[in-house]
Every structure is written in C-alpha cells, then in structure tokens.
Homo-oligomer: A and B are copies of this chain.
C-alpha cells in the first residue's frame, strides 16, 4: 500500500498525521525498524561467511539482501515523511548494537536459530503495533515483515543439526531463551527512553491504543508464538 502522489508530486498522508505526536511516533517506529533491518543485513551477511556449504551461504546472503531491500523501503518512506532517515535511526543504534553484541552466534546452528527466532519475535511485535496505525504505515510494515520463504530453510537446517547430534538441541534451547531475554531487556530500555513510541502504543483522544491489560495480552501472544517457533525447530522453550 503505497501512498499515491498528487499532481504536485507530494503525497497525501492519512489524517492521523495531522497530530504531530502521532507523526513523530511513526518516524520513531520506522527509524527503529529501519535500523533493525540494517543490522539484520550486517548480521546475516557476517553469519553467511560461517555457512558449512556454498548453497547454505547463498541462502543466508539472500536473507541478508532481502533485509537490506526492506531497509531501503523504510528509508525512502522516512524521506517522504520529511524526516532524515539517519536521524530517525540514531536513537535506536545503541540498543540494537548492544542486542547483537550480546547475542553473537558462536556456531552455524546458533546463527540460524537467531535469524528464525529473533526475526520472528521482532516481526510479531511490529505487527501488533501496526494494528494501531494508519493504513499506509501498516501496509508498509506488513510488507517489509513478510516472510520471504527463508524460515523453512532455517527450520530444516536446525532440525538436521539436532538429528545429527542430539546434544545440540539442549544447547540451542538455552540459546533461544537467552535471545528472548535479551530482546525483552532491550525492548524495555527503548520503551523507557522513547516517549514518542510509547505514546503511539498508548493511543490518543480519537485513536485507539493499548492499555496495560492489552499490553499483557500482547506479551502473552508473543510468548506463545515464540514457543511455537521453538517447537517447530524441535526445541523446548
């Protein structure tokens, strides 16, 4: 769902953007998402160098480039909203960099679990938030979060690694828990620091939002989906 430029070349934004608080919150959210995609590119490209075979490496490189493609869509949208994309990303840099520094995979199966479980969790979260946003922003977010069929590859390879050596399963289950714990820690620090983002979630006078009970239900859904993904890898959560 791309906005249609009018004859002057500018784009009609949905009425929600008349509220400067809303507009700032969307810029924050897209900035976080864009920086997330850019670091995902980095991480997948780096992990691709540890792939055991060339076809495996190519799968990870394809995932990396898909994430980079999403990044460019978000960057262009930020431009169109009149924001500097790099300024919009800057506040989230430290959080994402810390997350990746604290969860650097040491093995190829750890890379795959991180790509599958970490991206799945992030996607679920952004989808939940998108439900409260205007059509254009929601459309863009759902578009860049679409799974491009790479999950099946990660699931297949992780299950094969566990079959080959069942002890790997225990270690990867711990790894999955560590990824979620670190993600929650970093998400909380973002929520505490970025008022624009929390305001976006909380809603406004004429815009529905999440109260504490809704946030609780969202966390429950995120956790359930995470457990489902771990199970599909053959791992306990």
Measuring CB to CB, which residues of chain A are less than 8 angstroms from any residue of chain B? 38, 41-42, 45-46, 48-49, 54-55, 57-58, 61-62, 64-65, 68-69, 71-72, 75, 86, 89
Contacts and interface: CB of A to CB of B under 8 A. Distances in A.
A77 to B, nearest CB: 15
Contact of A68 (B61, B72, B75): B61
Contacts of A64: 45, 65, 68
Contacts of A57: 38
Q: How many copies does the complex hold?
A: 2
Contacts of A71: 58
Contact of A48 (B42, B49, B55, B75): B42
B58 A38 contact: yes
Contacts of A42: 45, 48-49, 61
A71 B89 CA distance: 30
Nearest to A35: B54
A46 B71 CA distance: 18
Contacts of A48: 42, 45
A69 B61 contact: no
Contact of A89 (B41, B54, B69, B75): B54
16 contacts: A38-B54, A42-B45, A42-B48, A42-B49, A42-B61, A45-B45, A45-B48, A45-B61, A46-B49, A54-B89, A58-B71, A58-B75, A61-B68, A62-B68, A62-B72, A64-B65
